[in-house]
Structure 1
Amino acid sequence: MINERVAVLRGGPSEEYSVSMKTGRAVIDALERKNISNKDIVITKNGEWLEEGRIKTINAVLEGVDVVFLALHGGFAEDGEVQKILQNFRIPFTGSSSLSSALAFNKALTKDILSKEGILTPKYRVIHKYELQELDEITTDIAEEFGSEYIIKPTASGSSISMELIRSKFSLQEGIGRLLEQYDSIIVEEFIRGREATVAVLENFRDKELYTFPIVEIVPPRKFPFYNYEAKYSGETQIICPSNFSYTERDLLQNITEHIHKTLNLSQYSRTDFIVRDNKIYFLEVNTLPGLTNESIFPKAAKTVGLEFDNLITHLLETASN
């Protein structure tokens, strides 16, 4: 039984505000069912901290709080900023440290590190806003090296926001220019057609330092070219768990996921996305604060091994408190 005062942080000044609000609501409902004292803290899109609808200072909001459940997503949360604040207050929180979160949120830096560990990833290139005048040359180089289909996305973001599939060099240049109007840097990847897999891990569960849940296969509806933001929250995507990958593929996915979690020095839990093609496993990205809504994959994977949602939430709080 948790006797500590829990603060649930949700909302936030990122593009994933609405998803975070849903995650936070689900967490609060779980705490209420467990009769755990909590307070609902909403961070507005402007970065103001609200308690019971009133703007308060961070000091006032965190006064008397023993542990924080981070129900935030995207910038300010997965980039390590809010963790930095909580670390300064010496308040335990769910998820990874500020440094590890910032590292994992940067897709290019993560790929650089994991590539050196021998982990396969689609070919990629980072493009910065200051390179706008060189796009013709850049897209020619990418087309020659990557082939004819590409994924473009912000270097740092989550929930597949602003991710696009591009099918020609001309569209690539146009798409890069459009995305660089919104972000300082983006990443272009070769698009690898294959089966989409995601693997969730949880620390200190069932006497294991790092427990891997059954592999999940993601099958978006045909109208979506891949598992993008719209597919994630359409309610039409098939989440197959346990998946039908071969024993060899499942073993590889599990081992690679555990290696990624440890290499990036992540804490408590994470979920990593892959493409599986021709018995090869390609790393896409890692999520340090997976969604916990009704549509979210992490709680669905946990449920397949008998870990109900409410118990997942209390496990995260108990291990964050230690």
Structure 2
Amino acid sequence: MAKTIVGVLRGGPSSEYNLSLKTGNAILDHLSPEKYDSRDIFIDKKGMWHLRGMPVSPMRALSQVDVVLNGLHGGPGEDGTVGRLLQKAGIPYAGSRPLQSAMALNKIRAREILERSGILMPRAMWFTLKDEVTTGEMAKMTFALFPPPYVIKPPLEGASYGIRVAKHLVDLPDMLGDALDQYGAVLVEEYIRGREASVGLIEKFRKQDLYALPPARTLMPEGWRMLHPSHHEEGTLHHFVPSDFTDAQKRYLMDTAKKAHRALALNHFSHANFLVTPHKVYLLEIDALPGLYPGAAFPKMLDSVGVSMSDFLDHSISLARNS
């Protein structure tokens, strides 16, 4: 029987380039050579596609594979660009469809849907360059809704890129201006002290339509109170599964992650991030494309229930080809 030819996309022109390389490498390392012929499709920071070390057009690269596993975190890999290209080429791929992936990537649009679904999230305000108010007025509007500290996030970045904290109201206008100049839009959330948690989700797994992996507890390096891109890139985060959350908290985390996945109509798999306080659990975001790189939470959660990375990739390929 001929082996399935699997194209693995990695790299790309987003700020998560390094993490994408690592996720792509992890996929290539764990694809069973008995079942698959892998094709390493590298996309450089300028968006040029490469196959076997040579520049190629996207369509030429895709014409040589049967199915695609997308390791492109952020940017075109998650904003629907690559998904639309794959659909145009008629190549099945694992992961959410273009519109759903783009909605999950956009923190503002996702929040609007998730809050309408009754999911508790930190209070927030958001602004764009089109808003005809000064950053000082934006700060006053935010302060009227909730007090500092404030977490300032670019709406279309992941892996903690671009996140800043304004400890005092006086700091907020300048930080808003910087974020708007760089990203064109900004999300301002209330700062909540809590324990970081995450839940991985897999569709049509272990006889469940949507299977929730056991919640992971994430600890940051000593002295840090906010996640930083270097924590992901350097593998300095510690993910503990099983976690020390109560049974009730674990059930709530898993149920809420499922609710978020369904609210955004995501496909195949996802990864939800939370903050757990003594009395409440807040959803921070849900990612359509989980990180599979060494040190990420998703592989730890898989391992905790006896699922190897190779098994997960087998299942992902099956989902891609049969849905």
Tell me which interval the TM-score lies in, with the shorter structure as reference length: over 0.9
**C-alpha separation between the residues in 2 aligned to 1:249 and 1:38?**
40
Match of 1:295 in 2: 295
How far residue 222 of structure 1 moved from its aligned partner, in angstroms, is 3.1
2:15 is matched with 15
How far residue 244 of structure 1 moved from its aligned partner, in angstroms, is: 1.1
Q: Which residue of 2 aligns with 1:214?
A: 214
Letter in 2 for 1:221: P
Match in the other structure for 1:307: 307
TM-superposed CA distance for 1:35, in Å, is: 5.3
What is the aligned residue count? 322
Structure-2 residue corresponding to 1:229: 229
- Asked if 1 retains the 8 angstrom alpha-carbon contact of 2:271 and 2:298, the reply is yes
Residues 279-294 of structure 1: matches in 2 within 5 Å?
279-294=279-294
Q: Is the 8 A contact 1:148 1:167 kept in 2?
A: yes
Partners in 2 of 1:319 and 1:168 — Cα distance? 48
2:20 aligns to what SS in structure 1?
A: helix
* Aligned counterparts, 1:124-203, within 5 A: 124-131=124-131, 134-203=134-203
TM-score, normalised with respect to structure 1: 0.95
Cα deviation code 1:1-45 (max 9, x no counterpart): 983111111111111111101111111111265552011111111
Instruction: Report the TM-score, using the length of structure 2 for normalisation.
Output: 0.95
Contact 2:19 2:233 in 1 (8 A): no
Q: Is the 8 A contact 1:129 1:183 kept in 2?
A: no
Contact residue 161 and residue 229 of structure 2 kept, 8 A: yes
Distance 2:189 2:172 in 1: 11
> 1:36 maps to which residue?
36
Aligned-residue sequence identity (percent) comes to 35
**Hey, what's the Cα distance between the residues in 1 that align with 2:260 and 2:133?**
36
Task: Give the Cα separation in 2 of the matches to 1:180 and 1:218.
Answer: 30
Is structure 2 residue 87 aligned with structure 1 residue 92?
A: no
- Report how far residue 228 of structure 1 moved: 2.7
User: SS where residue 5 of structure 1 aligns?
Assistant: strand
Contact persistence 1:132–1:177 (CA under 8 A): no
Range moving further from structure 2, 278-287 or 124-133: 124-133
Opposite residue 148 of structure 2, the aligned amino acid is S
Distance 1:63 1:87 in 2: 12
Consecutive unaligned residues in structure 1, runs of 5 or more: none
Q: Displacement of 1:162 after TM fit?
A: 0.6
> In the alignment, is the contact (CA less than 8 A) between 2:18 and 2:233 conserved in 1?
no
Supply the distance in 1 between the matched residues of 2:189 and 2:67 (Cα, whole angstroms).
39
1:136-186: CA deviation from partner (whole Å, max 9, x where unpaired): 111022123221111111111111111112201122212111122211111
Contact 2:42 2:51 in 1 (8 A): yes
- State the superposition RMSD in angstroms: 1.6
Contact (CA 8 Å) 1:218, 1:227: kept in 2 or not? Answer: no
Residue 80 of structure 1: CA displacement?
1.2
- Decide which moves more: 32-41 or 113-122: 32-41
Distance 1:235 1:11, change over 3 A: closer
Please name the residue that 2:83 is paired with: 83
Q: What is the distance in 2 between the residues matched to 1:234 and 1:115? A: 33
2:32–2:310 CA contact under 8 A, matched in 1: no
